[in-house]
Amino acid sequence: MRLRSRTSAALCAAALLVLPACSGGDDDSSSDEASAASADAVRYVALGDSYTAGPSINPVDGDSGECGRSTKNYPSVLAEELDVASFTDVSCSGATSENILKAVPIPGTTEPVPAQLDAVDESTSLVTVGIGGNDDGLFSSLATVCVAPGDACGTYLSKKLPRVLAATSERVTAVLDAVQQKAPEAEVLLVGYLRVTADGQSCDVLGGSGVDTSGVVQGEKQIDAALSKAAQAAGVTYVSMTAESEDHHACSDDPWTNGLNAPLGDGVGLHPNAEGMEAVADAVAEAAGQDS
């Protein structure tokens, strides 16, 4: 499937308005062109966790409840860039791979939320998936051990993280397979995570010198590799944001992610800000349609 830019869509729409008059009212031709345009329309569904949902990036969708979906998150920006025919965003802060597939509570809550996969059907033509960071408390564990004294960070990276990531990669692959089963004609893209830290560089917004930033960077790169493996196993495109955001970590002059604290209305700590969401949307838009 090839996704059309807003400009291309506008040109096609203009052509459909003009051609019937120029052709002497060939109704069959007009009908065929209209049907083709309808078939090519992008029906987009976004699945994911808080790095997709964009909690506290104003404005936040008041109907999204605890999921905290921003109307300026990367799926919303992408939907506007591609001028899609329909757009459904069911990403939810705190979601794990299980929340994509089943109606279960988000970790830390008691009430189940609907399976995100329910939003996908045979008419869906584009799906983005951003998941994995909350599986087995992956991100929270990394953030906790890499500020602890001693070699807690190094031990976690060498002893536990490889096992966690192997299981995470398998679960993400299962998610991608399930999406493709429900929407066999859709283009599916797995979207990676933006960088938060810089190798060997500490800064006040990340807590100063007490943070093992080199360890966190190592963890971020291993997560990226695990997601890439999952995408390859499922046969879908992986949009890695690791290299893309290398110079836009939280300590940089032009950050795409927040430090421990976020400016009011521009996200939450250790998560993307509005500029980061725009950067992800641009990267996904560039990757979309490349498999056609």
Give, for all 292 residues of the chain, the pLDDT tens digit: 434 343 344 333 333 333 333 334 455 555 555 444 455 799 999 999 999 999 999 999 999 999 999 999 999 999 999 999 999 999 999 999 999 999 999 988 888 999 999 999 999 999 999 999 999 999 999 989 998 878 999 999 999 999 999 999 999 999 999 999 999 999 999 999 999 998 877 789 998 878 898 999 999 999 999 999 999 999 999 999 999 999 999 999 999 999 999 999 999 999 999 999 999 999 999 999 765 4
Q: Which residue pairs, CB below 8 angstroms and at least 24 apart, start in 54-57?
A: 54/267, 54/271, 54/272, 54/274, 54/277, 55/93, 55/267, 55/268, 55/271, 56/262, 56/265, 56/266, 56/267, 56/268, 57/265, 57/266, 57/267, 57/272, 57/273, 57/274, 57/277
Domains of the chain and CATH, by start: 1-40 (no CATH), 42-287 (3.40.50.1110)
- Whole-structure pTM value: 0.86
Report the C-alpha gap between 206 and 69 in whole angstroms.
24
